[in-house]
Chain A
Amino acid sequence: MTQPGIAIDLILSKLAEDAEKARTRAEKAPEVLLGPLETEIATTPCDIVYEEDRVKLKHYKPATKIQLNRPLLLVYALINRETMLDLQPGKSVVQNFLQEGIDLYMIDWGYPTRKDRYLTIDDHVNGYIDNAVDFILKKHNLDKINLMGICMGGTFCVIYSALHPEKVQNLVTTVTPTHFDTDQGLLHIWMRDMDVDQIVDTYGNIPGDILNLAFLLLNPARLMIDKYVGFLENMDNKKFVENFVRMEKWIFDSPDVPGETFRQFVRDCYQNNLLIQNKMEIGGHRVDLKKITMPLLNYYGKYDHLVPPEACEPLISKVGSKDTENVCLDTGHIGIYVSSKCQKEFVPRIAQWLKQRTADKNKLKIKKTSRKKSVTKKTAPQSKPALKTKKNK
């Protein structure tokens, strides 16, 4: 008689143990789910200082003494909401910037309605963003501001900086796609043959729910199964549930995207890759990346499945600026802003980079970082120890 190779008794006893744990969790879960939960998002105090159509400009109340005389304007994407940057106290990009003494503004794109379907990229860049910048410049009696873009908002910032370089002191792009001709990201593959005209003509604006479904389909195993298995395993943990619900609130708060903007973004960027080739036209003007002569810091995530590193990296080699840097973090598209690990290094590093370039820009040793090399090499003198960054690829 040979011994059985499978330790069935052990497996079964472990299974019984798990079942017992699940039962305990299920008993405790109602206490958490039915009790008071703090799930508010975007709670950092701010004033709406400028409004135009559906667009609002938020100005955050400083948490400490302002250390940078030039304000920083954050431009979020038109997909999902800017509330992701202020998900919860203690885990908020907005709060971290305020703690660093940055005078912070952020554009809230609002919820486009059917009447916004004709708004183009030109209306967003040369209209809303430019008007917000002008407002800030006038208010602070400045000639230039610092600009930071997130995802599609980053692409808008790149376009804006190329068209209005005289108004931008420093440019920070985060998970920003500029090179669209790649097979690394699923969005790039899917968008290539999409009949965008038919979709825009039918729907007017692109429904947020359809976009959300598309994002879920990027990784259904994790986003539609594993995520909720994780929730079931932790539903007796109040903190976990609160954070989970905050994230759910943000993810499924999806405004529609103005139709004409979507059409142009898909056609000019995803399908024809015009931006990186300096062939894209906005409001009758060609976007020449060589006109981006201000310092540029380009952040992206190594495991970003929406905007892969290949879509972000080439930017620094195409702009006119000599002071450029690529920083690749070991995380995904959203992890850069919300993961505890990235929270510790992301904002402090940007703040430091901005301060160095604003305080004593004449003393900068400007070096252009090669996009294929490690980015641990700094382009400016460091007052703090170098933060750990990863190789581009």
Chain B
Amino acid sequence: MTDKSQEKTEPETFFADWMKMATELWDPMAWMWSAFHKTTGMTPDSIKYGKRPRMQESWDTAQKTWQAFSQVMSEPETMETLLKGAGMLPEIFLKTAQTGSKTFVNFQKQWLKRTGKLQESAKTYNLEKDAFKAWTQLYEQEFRKFFKIPQLGLTRFYQEKMIRSMDKFNIYQAAVTEFSRLLLLPMEKSFQVLQEKLTELADKEDLPEDSKKYYQIWIKILEGHYMILFQSSEYTQALNKTLNAMSEFSAVKKEILQDFLNMLPVPTHKEMDDLYKEIYLLKKRIKELEKKK
């Protein structure tokens, strides 16, 4: 019991002593400060209107507040209440930490769920059959979301552009890969057809003796397959997708470059384009006027 009461009163005594010491230190300082202002801080206006300087006024108010505060804090009841509050601190920290960790765990769960979804999607898209197309779909539906997380802070616009460029690059790469795959298909097919054709000729005992003939047969088959491909809607779609992806990536790349150029003493494309447009319109007007003469 004795120990407990001692533990309880010790901080109170310590705090009261500290308050006393602080007041004893700051009191003479305050006195010196006001004395200094009485001699030097008086402006013509303050003399005229009998006002004290603003600095001294603020200092006096602060001093009075401190005195009132230290008086209240010296009361044992106040200290006891305060220390009770301090005892609650670890509990508050614990609760905060628990909330934080719960959020983190939830976030992790969501990530795991997303990863699970990726696996599911990968199965749905039948990767073996149409790998490049599947990857594009997978990227667009699952990965792309992460590039759209809102950016915060002073540099958010720049961050957004960087992230957008990464996203557009991925889309462009996917489109180019798919497009290249389509372009290689006639090659693949032409060799298959050539083999079939050669087997057919061999069966008829009509194989050409000239090796150049084999090349001519193959190039004709290849040309035919390309013509079939180029007229297909699949190819036109892939072509347009690639062109659009290339334009979009190129545009965002230029935006980033423009940001860097803005820091240098050189005109940007946008500024030059504005100027070119003005020159173009002016020239056109002059030419029209000249023709009317």
Name A residues whose Cβ lies closer than 8 Å to a Cβ of B: 5-7, 10-11, 14-15, 18, 114-115, 117-119, 123, 127, 183, 186, 189-190, 192-195, 198-199, 201-204, 217-222, 225-226, 229
Contacts and interface: CB of A to CB of B under 8 A. Distances in A.
B151 interface: no
B196 interface: no
Contact of A218 (B215, B230, B272, B279): B230
Given A193-B240, A198-B248, A115 B207 contact: no
Contacts of B128: none
Interface string B192-233: 000000000011010101111001000100110011001100
B129 to A, nearest CB: 25
Contacts of A221: 186, 219, 222-223, 226
17 contacts: A10-B209, A11-B211, A18-B212, A118-B277, A123-B284, A186-B231, A189-B231, A193-B236, A193-B237, A193-B240, A198-B244, A202-B254, A204-B269, A204-B273, A218-B230, A222-B219, A222-B223
B101 interface: no
A51 to B, nearest CB: 14
A215 B126 CA distance: 35
Majority secondary structure of chain A interface residues (helix, strand, loop or mixed): helix
Contacts, number: 89
Contacts of B62: none
Contacts of B210: 14
B130 to A, nearest CB: 22
A256 to B, nearest CB: 14
B231 A219 contact: no
For A183, A186, A192, which residue has the most chain B Cβ atoms within 10 angstroms? A186
Contacts of A183: 231
A220 B276 contact: no
Contacts of B251: 201-202
A203 B250 contact: yes
Contact of A229 (B203, B215, B287): B215
Nearest to A193: B240
B243 A194 contact: yes
Interface in B271-287: 272-273, 276-277, 279-280, 284, 287
A229 B218 CA distance: 13
Contacts of A204: 269, 273
B247 interface: yes
B249 to A, nearest CB: 9
Majority secondary structure of chain B interface residues (helix, strand, loop or mixed): helix
B276 A6 contact: no
The 7 closest A-B CB pairs, nearest first, are: A221-B223, A5-B205, A202-B247, A221-B222, A118-B280, A115-B276, A10-B209
Given A115-B280, A198-B248, A6 B202 contact: yes
A226 B100 CA distance: 67
A18 B276 CA distance: 59
Nearest to A305: B227
A199 B277 CA distance: 18
Contacts of A198: 244, 247-248
B183 interface: yes
Nearest to A13: B209
A218 B230 CA distance: 8
A203 B272 contact: no
A148 B261 CA distance: 46
A6 B279 contact: no
A114 B254 CA distance: 15
A11 B207 contact: yes
Contact of A7 (B209, B243, B279): B209
A114 B209 CA distance: 56
B209 A6 contact: no
Contacts of A115: 276, 279-280
A114 B226 contact: no
A222 B250 CA distance: 31
Nearest to A229: B215
For B209, B210, B219, which residue has the most chain A Cβ atoms within 10 angstroms? B209
A123 B236 CA distance: 32
Interface string B243-270: 1100110110010000000000000010
A221 B279 CA distance: 45
A5 B203 contact: yes
B77 to A, nearest CB: 75
Contacts of B276: 114-115, 117-118
Contact of A226 (B219, B236, B273, B284): B219
Contacts of A6: 202, 205, 207
Contact of A195 (B186, B231, B243): B243
